[in-house]
Amino acid sequence: MPVTHRLAVLGAGVMGTGIATLALGHGLPVTLVDIDESVLEQARRSIALDMRHARLMGAAPDTAPGELVTTTSIADAAQATVVIEAVTELPGSKAAALAEVAAVVAPGTPLISNTSGIPIDEMADWVPRSAELIGTHFMNPAYLIKMVEVIRGPRTGAGTVAAVVDLLTVLGKQHVVVQDAPGFVTSRLLHPMINRAAAIVGEGTASVEAVDALMEGCLGHPTGPLRTADLIGLDNLVDSLNALYERTGDESCRPCALMQDKVEAGDLGRKSGRGFYSYRKNPS
Ligand code: NAD
């Protein structure tokens, strides 16, 4: 298969590894960048396991995988034709990573942010060429979930939109384009709902299992909001809720006490082995 895109993925956490797995599984080369070498080590192991999972689930074509390079230096992203930023949901971290990568890639390279909720137009002030910035909201696991929300900011260029649509097509994804706003569509709906589910447990109305069982059995939620929270990562949820609360003033987005307590205790969900539920950690 001819290589059509060369990706740089910034951030090798939950989403960065999932997006890298997706691209590698479709034969595209990926340079995966993180500030922490131990995260990159873990990411290489996760990607190997996730590639097998993607193949078993029929989510990756029968093609030779792309080449993976991992690095702590953003300068190694210089040859990328597309950048996907999947850095911690903190404006300072994202601003630093985007400004740094924009300085090393060729002008015209689409800069895609996988933010959960920071408006794309706010982020456009952090890069020198605002027309190159666009949002995609890959869901977790990125290599399995078929649909991607695409966020076109008011300054996003038509060429950037076209390049991202082409990339998503190469990756076998469907997409829906929405307008820019805090949380866009999916986070604006999902994050307050998860926050409320956690608050209900914190208030003693029902157990974690009971909330999930009711949402699954009565309302058709596929996994329950609290199991979903563990999959997302409770630290990311608290950061994303704070980003939404600061930009909307909506009280339903203020992280509830139980969620904050869990993050303070290091119970971050699947990634730490315990959140609302307990998990066996991947052998490392
Ligand atoms: P994560 O905490 O698992 O990983 C973030 C990674 O970014 C960390 O490994 C951190 O070391 C790295 N990082 C921080 N600053 C960096 C920098 N300057 N350069 C390179 N790497 C840097 O977070 P995540 O869950 O993977 O989320 C990443 C992004 O995707 C966030 O914006 C989040 O809101 C969004 N998102 C997450 C989910 C989910 O289910 N977790 C779903 C959709 C969108």
Within the chain, all domains assigned CATH 1.10.1040.10 are found at 186-272
d(CA 114, CA 15): 8
Q: What is the DSSP string of 209-269?
A: HHHHHHHHHTT--SS-HHHHHHHH-HHHHHHHHHHHHHHH--GGGSPPHHHHHHHHTT--B
* pLDDT tens, position by position, 174-203: 999 999 999 999 999 999 999 999 999 999
CATH C-level class of 186-272: mainly alpha
Position 4 scores a pLDDT of 83
Query: Would you give the DSSP letter of residue 283?
Result: P
Of 9, 191, 17, nearest to 117 by C-alpha is 191
Q: Please state which CATH number belongs to domain 7-179.
A: 3.40.50.720
Catalytic residue among 5, 26, 137, 175: 137
Mutational pocket test of ligand 1: of 41, 47, 70, 87, the residue with most ligand atoms within 8 Å of the beta carbon: 87
For 22, list phi and psi in degrees, rounded to 5: -60, -50
Measured CA to CA, the distance from residue 133 to residue 113 in angstroms comes to 7
Q: How many CB atoms sit inside 10 A of residue 3's CB? A: 12
Determine contact, residues 238/181, Cβ cutoff 8 Å: no
Q: Which of 236, 239, 271 to mutate to test the pocket of ligand 1 (most atoms within 8 A of CB)?
A: 236
The finding on whether 89 has its CB within 6 A of some atom of ligand 1 is yes
Q: Which residue's CA is the nearest one to ligand 1's atom 36?
A: 116
Q: What is the share, in percent, of the chain residues with pLDDT greater than 90?
A: 95
Tokens of 226: 């609290």
Cis peptide bond upstream of 222, omega within 30: no
Ranges in the chain annotated CATH 3.40.50.720: 7-179
Per-residue pLDDT tens over the stretch 51-97: 999 999 999 898 899 999 999 999 999 999 999 999 999 999 999 99
Q: Residue 283: pLDDT above 50?
A: no
39 touches ligand 1 (CB under 6 Å) = yes
Cα gap 37→118, rounded to integer Å: 27
Q: In whole angstroms, give the CA distance from residue 186 to residue 91.
A: 19
Distance from Cα 170 to the centre of ligand 1, integer Å: 23
Asked whether the beta carbons of 183 and 252 are under 8 A apart, the reply is: no
Residue 96 CA: nearest ligand 1 atom is 18
Segment (H or E) for 149: strand 147-152
pLDDT in tens, 208-258: 999 999 999 999 999 999 999 999 999 999 999 999 999 999 999 999 999
The minimum-distance atom of ligand 1 relative to the CA of 94 is 18
Q: Tokens 């666009």 — which residue?
A: 134
Residue 59 CA, ligand 1 centroid: distance in Å: 23
User: Is it the case that residue 3 has pLDDT exceeding 80?
Assistant: no
Catalytic-residue membership of 26: no
Average pLDDT for residues 2-20, to the nearest whole number? 93
Q: Is residue 110 lining ligand 1, measured as CB closer than 6 Å?
A: no
Closest residue by Cα to atom 31, ligand 1, is 89
Task: Kindly state if the Cβ of 164 falls inside 6 Å of ligand 1.
Answer: no
- For residue 83 and ligand 1, the question of a CB distance below 6 A is answered with no
Report the pLDDT value the prediction gives residue 284, as an integer from 0 to 100: 44
pLDDT at 62: 87
Residue nearest to atom 40 of ligand 1 (CA): 232
